[in-house]
Homo-oligomer: A and B are copies of this chain.
Amino acid sequence: METTSQSDAAAPPRAPLTRKRVLDTAVALADEGGVDALSMRRIAQALGVVPMALYKHVANKNELLDGMVDVLVGEIDPPVDGVGWRTAIRRRVLSARRMLLRHPWAPAVIETRAKARAHPTPVMLAYLDSMIGIFRAGGFPVDLTHHAMHVMGSRLLGFSQELFEEGSGRGPEPDALPPEEMAARFPHLTELATAVAHDRESVVGSGCDDQFEFEFALDLTLDGLDRLRAGG
C-alpha cells in the first residue's frame, strides 16, 4: 500500500493521538461489538495507528478499562440545585441508568474493575462524593447517609455487590491520593469515611460491616414490599 505523498506536505495527521481519543474510540468500539471484541490492536486499527502507540496514553489494558469507566461516569448528568434531595437523587440515578442502557457492557466492566482495583478513580470518587452530598444537604445524618449509599448501591452505577472492596492488607496503592487532598476534593466522602472509622475504632478492620449493610438494604426492601402487600 502506498503512502498518499512523500513530499513535505505530509498526509493530514488525523488529529494528534490523545488519551481522550483513545478512550472515546474504545468506548465506541465496545458499544458496537461488546467488550469481548475490544482489543488493543483493534483500537489502534480504528485510530489508524500502530498498537504500541496506545501505550503512550494508557499504561495497559486494565488501565484502559478504568479510563473507559471514567468516560461513562462523565456522561451522568451533574446534580441539579434547588429541587430537594429526593428529586435530585432520583434524577441522578435515572441519568445513570440511561448511561448504562447506552453502554450495556458497562456493568460487567465496572464490576470487574471495582474488584480488581483497591480504590476507585478520582472521577468515580467525585461521583460518589456528589451523591453523598445530596443526601447530607437533604437532612440525612451521616450514618443514615452511609446506609443509604449502600442501599442505593446497585442502582447508583449498576453495581451488584459492594462498591469497592477493602484493600485487605495489600497496603496503600501507589496512586492513592494524600489524605489532605482527599478531604479537600471529596469532603462528603471523607466525612462519611471518618464517621464510619470512628464508629468501629475498637474493631480490627476499619471498613464497613458489609454483612450488616446488605441486611439493612434487604430488610428495607422487604419492609416496602410487605407494606404494599398489606395495603392491597
Contact = CB atoms under 8 A, between A and B. Distances in A.
Contact of A221 (B100, B104, B105, B155): B155
B225 A148 contact: yes
Main secondary structure of the interface of A (DSSP, over half): helix
Interface string A182-226: 000000000000000000000000000000001101101111111
Given A140-B229, A151-B224, 20 more contacts: A86-B222, A86-B226, A90-B222, A94-B218, A97-B214, A104-B161, A107-B161, A108-B115, A111-B160, A138-B229, A140-B225, A144-B228, A147-B228, A154-B154, A155-B217, A159-B160, A220-B224, A221-B224, A223-B224, A224-B224
A108 B108 CA distance: 5
A69 interface: no
A104 B108 contact: no
A8 to B, nearest CB: 47
Contact of A115 (B104, B151, B160, B229): B104
A72 interface: no
Contacts of A89: 222
Contacts of A154: 154-155, 160
Chain copies in complex: 2
Contact of A220 (B97, B161, B221): B221
Nearest to A93: B218
A158 interface: yes
Interface in A138-186: 138-140, 144, 147-148, 151-152, 154-155, 158-161
Contacts of A224: 151, 220-221, 223-224
Nearest to A156: B160
A148 to B, nearest CB: 5
Given A140-B229, A160-B160, A214-B97, A221 B151 contact: yes
A112 interface: yes
A128 to B, nearest CB: 16
Given A154-B154, A158-B160, A144 B229 contact: yes
B111 A107 contact: yes
A217 to B, nearest CB: 7
